[in-house]
Structure formats: C-alpha cells, structure tokens
Amino acid sequence: MNEVKIDKRLSYLYDKIKPKESDPPLTRQVKERMLPDVLSRWKKYTEKPTGGRQMVARPLEDHVMDVIEEQIGADVKKRKKFLIWKDMDIRIDGLIEKQPKTLISCKVTLAPEAFRESFSYAYFAKQWHGMKNIRFYIVATYSVSESSKKLVEAGKPYVDGIYYLSEHPYLDELLNELKRMYS
C-alpha cells in the first residue's frame, strides 16, 4: 500500500478513508484527496516517530473545508479563532462567516469524548451569539459507538448535524444543506 508500513492503528482507519465505489460523489472526492496526504504523513511518522497527532486530523480538516468551499462558493476559513464567550475563544476547524455563521468541527473518530468537546464549542457559541445566528456541524470519519449516536440526539439543538466519510449520513448531505442555506 504505497510503501507505507501499516500497523493496527492505521489499518482500521485506512479502511474508513479509502475511497469506495459506493461512496457518494463528494465524500469520495474528499477521500481521494485526503488519502495520499494521510499516507505521506504516516510514512514520515514511521520514519521518525515523533509528534504524529496531525497525521489524519489535519488532512481531514483541510480537504473537507476545501470541498465545502468549492461546492458552496463561499470562503471557508480553516483553524480560525472564534469568540465563544466574553474573552474566551476556540480554534474552530472551519468557519463560514456568511449569515448564518457556520462552524464546522472535524473529528477523526466520533467517540463520546470527541463529541463532548465539539458539543461544548457549539453550546457556548450558540449561547453567546444567539441560536438563530449560528449553525454548528460535526464532520467525522466514523462513529465509534452507539453511545456517540445517542449523544448526538441529546446535543440538539446545539449541534445541527453530524456527517461522516464512511457511514450515513454522508458529507454530501451536509454539502446539500449548506448549498440550500447559502444559495
């Protein structure tokens, strides 16, 4: 597989980010762009195993935001500081400043702890800015458990939707929603 030694940590994820014929078109496009970047970062990591936290997260953020920007025709700022309370800000993975403002949080895996982090961002952003002025979405490669999916229901109305690269609802559905919202 492209001269990269695959260990258990990457092999499961590789299956989730590898483009498949059954993927919806825009989800497949993100995977096709993302996979070479992930493999390149993983190869560098195996040659010199230091750092490594951004091997998948950074490519996920970059390529998801690029495709969203191309599809909706609006500027999507990456890793942007966003004020969520008085003098407290977060670094949100994607920000569309058109009205309504849209914040996008990317997660490699949607485990309960990852959801809680994004949920807290959504909660504070919406409370500070007003519920009608902010949309908050999460894009993840996959969900790790049914408990994560239950948290999604509990997180409404603060989290407007969660979309995936490897399961339903796919990223394409978020893109369709954003196109309707900003057209």
Domain ranges of the chain: 56-182
30-77: per-residue pLDDT in tens?
A: 999 999 999 998 888 777 776 656 788 999 999 999 999 999 999 999
- Higher pLDDT residue, 43 or 22? 22
For residue 7, pLDDT over 50 is answered with yes
Give, in degrees to the nearest 5, the angle at Cα 176 between 103 and 24: 110
Q: Give residues with Cβ within 8 angstroms of 64, minimum separation 6.
A: 30, 93, 94, 104, 106, 139, 171
Q: Are 44 and 60 in contact (CB under 8 A)?
A: no
80-101: per-residue pLDDT in tens?
A: 999 888 888 999 999 999 999 9
H runs (alpha helix) in the chain = 8-17, 25-47, 54-72, 112-129, 146-155, 171-182
For residue 133, pLDDT over 90 is answered with no
- This prediction's pTM: 0.90
Q: Record the tokens describing residue 58, joined without a space.
A: 């950074």
Q: Which CATH number fits domain 56-182: 3.40.1350.10, 3.40.50.620, 3.40.190.290, 2.40.30.110?
A: 3.40.1350.10
Portion of the chain with pLDDT greater than 90, in percent: 62
